[in-house]
Homo-oligomer: A and B are copies of this chain.
């Protein structure tokens, strides 16, 4: 939870006058969100979300993210729509930061995802992939397999403070992943961070996908793998094959997976676990004690990585029936 930048009444009112959204009635920092400062902006026209982009988001990437949301929204994906100012620009400046106003989405993120949520998520993810197919901009995934070793090396000297022998385990795992990582799978724009707190529901009806600030071009099936890790493990670390099956079958019903994509899903999930383990490990070791944001424990993703390493085939994921189908 984080609001890094305090903005004054005058700044907000002045900023809002560059838009056709009416006068600002209130502006409150939102506790959710980690990378940026988010405010609920209530104007005479209703609620909006105001985002100030903090240092972790590169300015050069913002046109990709903003353009992608506009593109997807035009294709019916329920994502925030960037609001353009009177001058046609949706990316502006406020309080020394890049800033944008986006539409407010209905719904709440599921604190305890159920199988029905996973199915709806799979369907929406497939629609996102199809909708992004003709998005003209490109953004490389810096956090894919090529980015893992540098991240690992930045943390390795202190990894022992988190778990004994962690460095040895990660280096062996990295070598395997680098060797086995696929070269050719269907690619496109992926969300790359579709955790439950980035997906809104009304009941079990999916009402919004948010936080496109890791979106990039990569294997489409890798996006499913990120979701499998984020949605299909229970709090006790056990893997819920029902959720995995509903997620993947929901996806396949909209965009059928190739046999190759399905076969490689466990490997992609293993890589996705490595990616989140490495960034969490880095943040865990490098976040100052007095930071506003409490870093997430990397051990959760070490356990997920170990699950994937130990899993034998699609059956361990409840996906063997899909393979035959």
Q: Could you list which residues of chain A lie within 8 angstroms of chain B, going by C-beta atoms?
A: 1-3, 6-9, 12, 24-32, 40, 42, 47, 104-108, 110-112, 200-203, 289-290, 292, 294
- Verify B1–A108 contact, CB threshold 8 A: no
- Verify A110–B9 contact, CB threshold 8 A: yes
Which of B12, B104, B108, B292 lies in contact with A27, CB distance below 8 A?
B108
Docked CA distance A28–B109 (Å): 10
- Verify A32–B28 contact, CB threshold 8 A: yes
Docked CA distance A246–B198 (Å): 47
User: What are 15 A-to-B residue pairs whose CB atoms are below 8 Å?
Assistant: A1-B3, A1-B29, A1-B31, A1-B292, A3-B31, A8-B111, A8-B112, A9-B107, A9-B111, A12-B108, A25-B106, A26-B47, A29-B30, A29-B32, A30-B31
- Verify A292–B294 contact, CB threshold 8 A: yes
**Known contacts A2-B31, A31-B31; can you find 11 more A-B pairs with CB under 8 A?**
A9-B111, A9-B202, A9-B203, A26-B104, A26-B107, A26-B108, A27-B108, A30-B40, A42-B47, A289-B289, A290-B294
Q: Which residue of chain B is the closest to A12 with respect to CB atoms?
A: B108
- Residues of B near A106 (CB, < 8 A) are 25-26
Q: Which residue of chain B is the closest to A290 with respect to CB atoms?
A: B294
- Residues of B near A112 (CB, < 8 A) are 8
A160 to chain B, nearest CB (A): 21
- Residues of B near A12 (CB, < 8 A) are 108
Docked CA distance A30–B24 (Å): 17
Which of B3, B26, B201 lies in contact with A9, CB distance below 8 A?
B201
Docked CA distance A24–B8 (Å): 29
Docked CA distance A24–B3 (Å): 24
- Verify B6–A111 contact, CB threshold 8 A: yes
Docked CA distance A28–B203 (Å): 16
- Residues of B near A27 (CB, < 8 A) are 108
- Residues of B near A201 (CB, < 8 A) are 9
Q: Which residue of chain B is the closest to A40 with respect to CB atoms?
A: B40
Q: Which residue of chain B is the closest to A3 with respect to CB atoms?
A: B31
- Residues of B near A25 (CB, < 8 A) are 106-107
Question: Considering residues A12, A27, A108, A202, which has the most beta carbons from chain B within 10 angstroms of its beta carbon?
Answer: A108
Docked CA distance A29–B1 (Å): 9
Which of B9, B29, B42 lies in contact with A31, CB distance below 8 A?
B29
- Verify A9–B47 contact, CB threshold 8 A: no
- Residues of B near A104 (CB, < 8 A) are 26, 42
Docked CA distance A3–B111 (Å): 14
Docked CA distance A2–B320 (Å): 44
- Residues of B near A1 (CB, < 8 A) are 1-3, 29, 31, 292
